[in-house]
Amino acid sequence: VKAQRNPADLPWGKLGVEYVIESTGLFTVKSAAEGHLRGGARKVIISAPASGGAKTFVMGVNHNEYNPREHHVVSNASCTTNCLAPLVHVLVKEGFGISTGLMTTIHSYTATQKTVDGVSIKDWRGGRAAALNIIPSTTG
């Protein structure tokens, strides 16, 4: 187990690590996630929506666009996108189309949510105890 605040300080190369799954939520900008490459990893997969020029791939939708010589830091989108995009892709590809749509995601609570009722500066719903309530929120 290794712990470093800067991904470039992780000894991925010395450990023989080729692929890093970036799931901290802290390094979703391509340039920040590239720190893992400086640490010796060959590829980085960001497990969230990314910015800064990182290409996003969803299996069954656009995975065939992946170029291993070009794409060293990629995003696998959000869990919501991974659930919805393949369905939409098939409907559009097969000619059915979509005129309107509505999607609801039920998601487990995250580390940033309150474990007991308390004050939330962001909004009153965010102050509710996550394990005891279904709390409407945005995702991805």
Residues annotated as catalytic (active site), given as ranges: 79
**Phi-psi label, residue 108: left if phi above 0, alpha if psi -120 to 50, beta otherwise:** beta
Q: How far apart are CA 99 and CA 110, in angstroms?
A: 33
What is the distance, to the nearest Å, from the Cα of residue 63 to the centroid of all Cα atoms in its chain? 16
Name the residue among 78, 75, 83 with its Cα closest to residue 21: 75
Residues in the chain: 140
